[in-house]
């Protein structure tokens, strides 16, 4: 999406099995911002509904499991909000990053159109640009059945060509595929804003990113709550 990037910071915040701890993500976000990242892409979700299910399956009463999940959600939300506030506080000094997060894949609209889960953390934190996943259909762009609702913006997230573990390419689906599309376009907006007379800040770049999203090309019936402001769109070259 953003060819020619001079420096990329790659941070691993999960184990080889895909699991991890919240403080690993906290540390990863802090590290990226401290290293001067301008765009941070986070394709991770803290799946609290699944957290409840696992506890219930293990014999924990449903109300107790729900209480545990709420306690964990509250603690994680407060920490991510604090980290995003710290990120914003760097803006007057010419630093700070636009943080882009995958909305999560907890919805099951293919089972029931009303089976929608809201954006998960860290994408739900204040100031993170949350990303929904889109799929192509004969009638136009559709929100992927798994994509969580109440995202801010959308990107391609079904049958996306990606790198395969061990080498080569493979096709993958998920909001984790849509998120890097939006992050790449965000880098292009940074480049455009920096070359303009506008303030080169995360706030300006985020405003441009969201305001430029495309709202045409969607299939009928796609709800704004599911696709956000629209399909992410890169800066247009000057005529």
Q: For the segment 145-175, what is each residue's pLDDT rounded down to a tens digit?
A: 999 999 999 999 999 998 898 999 999 999 9
Helix (H, G, I), strand (E, B) or coil at 192: helix
Mean pLDDT of 104-124: 95
CATH number among 3.40.50.200, 3.30.70.260, 3.40.50.720, 3.40.50.1400, domain 22-211? 3.40.50.200
Q: What is the pTM of this model?
A: 0.94
Q: Distance between CA 4 and CA 18 in Å, rounded?
A: 29
Instruction: Please report, for the chain, the start and end positions of each structural domain, with discontinuous segments joined by +.
Output: 22-211
Question: Residue 55's pLDDT band (boundaries 50, 70, 90)?
Answer: very high
Are 206 and 38 within 8 A, CB to CB?
Answer: no
Question: What value does the CA radius of gyration of the chain take, rounded to a whole number of Å?
Answer: 18
Q: Which residues contact 100 (CB under 8 A, 6 or more apart)?
A: 39, 40, 41, 42, 128, 129, 131, 179, 182, 183, 186
| Secondary structure class of 169 (helix, strand, coil) | strand
pLDDT single digits (tens) 219-234: 999 999 999 999 999 9
CA–CA gap between residue 230 and residue 152 (Å, rounded):
8
pLDDT on residue 238: 67
Whether residue 122 has a cis bond before it, omega within 30° of 0: yes
């Amino acid at each position: 999406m953003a060819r020619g990037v001079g420096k990329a910071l790659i941070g691993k915040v999960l184990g080889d099995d895909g699991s991890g701890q919240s403080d690993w993500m906290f540390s990863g976000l802090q590290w990226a911002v401290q290293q001067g990242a301008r765009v941070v892409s986070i394709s991770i979700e803290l799946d609290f509904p699944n957290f409840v299910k696992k506890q219930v399956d293990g014999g924990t009463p449903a109300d107790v499991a729900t209480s545990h999940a709420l306690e964990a959600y509250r603690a994680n939300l407060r920490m991510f909000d604090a980290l995003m506030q710290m990120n914003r506080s760097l803006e007057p000094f010419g630093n700070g990053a636009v943080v882009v997060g995958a909305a999560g894949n907890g919805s099951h609209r293919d089972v029931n159109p009303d089976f929608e889960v809201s954006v998960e953390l860290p994408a739900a934190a204040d100031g993170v640009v949350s990303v929904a996943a889109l799929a192509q259909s004969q009638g136009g762009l559709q929100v992927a059945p798994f994509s969580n609702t109440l995202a801010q913006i959308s990107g391609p997230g079904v049958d996306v060509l990606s790198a395969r573990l061990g080498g080569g390419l493979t096709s993958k689906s998920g909001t984790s595929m849509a998120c890097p599309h939006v992050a790449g376009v965000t880098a292009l907006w940074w480049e455009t804003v920096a070359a303009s007379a506008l303030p080169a800040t995360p706030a300006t770049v985020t405003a441009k990113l969201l305001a430029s999203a495309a709202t045409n090309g969607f299939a009928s019936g796609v709800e704004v709550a599911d696709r956000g402001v629209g399909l992410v769109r890169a800066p247009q070259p000057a005529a």
